[in-house]
Amino acid sequence: MKNKLEKHDYIIWSIRFLLIISIAVNITLMIMGLFPDEHVTKQEILEAFSKKIELLFWTLVTLVLSFLPDYIEKRRHIHLPHVLEIIIVAFIFAGIFLSVRFDLYYQVFWWDDLLHTVSGIIIGFIGFIIIYKINGRYCMDISPLLVAVFAFTFAVTMGVIWEFFEFAMDAIFETTMQSWDLPETTLLMGKPFQGSGLRDTMSDLIVNSIGAFITSVICYFLYKEDKKKTLVLMREIFPDE
């Protein structure tokens, strides 16, 4: 167990170390930008400075969110499985930092779909943990099908709420989170005349549902085939129950 814990910490802290290096490099470049070459225009300086500030901001956000599993474990007394914790931190790292740093949402057409699929899988497992938290005191004497349905609907609902958030951000702050400004030739689900925003939203919901379905199937068979082992794992997650 000790070796597994050390390996788990090593992976997560490696991600955090990369973020810290990125922060240091960007701050250094911003300071160097205060002393530009005489051939660089003021507009070019402002544009470069703006991009570095944006990257620096999202890097800091990623770094802070990488400590979210630690907060959950220490403050909420919930011991997340090491694999799930690594997946969550890696997902945060990829979904925020890598996406902004390499402009992956626009450079890689399947990147957004991949993230939404993985989010459906992760949130589905979180839904499974929640249903145990609600029913654990009753020994989880419920149908495996109900467990699977709850995990699925919870993940899909969270995906819908996220799309509400994206729409609100686009409507209020004029962002492009729902990709409504993409050209019609962009590879997205649906027909060009439907608009890229609609196609982006529906593809997000569909792949999120696929990820949720994958988790629900796994949860169904885990709980049905080996309920005792599954409950032991849940009691390790909630040792105070």
pLDDT digits (tens, 9 = 90+) for 112-166: 999 999 999 999 999 999 998 888 666 677 899 999 999 999 999 999 999 999 9
Handedness of CA 62, 67, 71, 77 (dihedral sign): positive
**Contact by Cβ (8 Å): 170, 178:** yes
Maximum Cα–Cα distance across the chain: 74
For tokens 């992956």, what's the residue? 104
pLDDT at 2: 44
In single-letter form, the type of residue at position 9 comes to D
Compute the distance between CA of residue 104 and CA of residue 124 in angstroms, rounded to an integer.
25
Task: Tell me the mean pLDDT in the region 214-226.
Answer: 92
Q: Does the pLDDT at position 82 exceed 50?
A: yes
Angle 28-98-24 from CA coordinates, rounded to 5°: 15
Nearest CA among 239, 222, 84 for reference residue 147: 222
| pTM score of the predicted model | 0.87
More confident of the two residues 223 and 18: 18
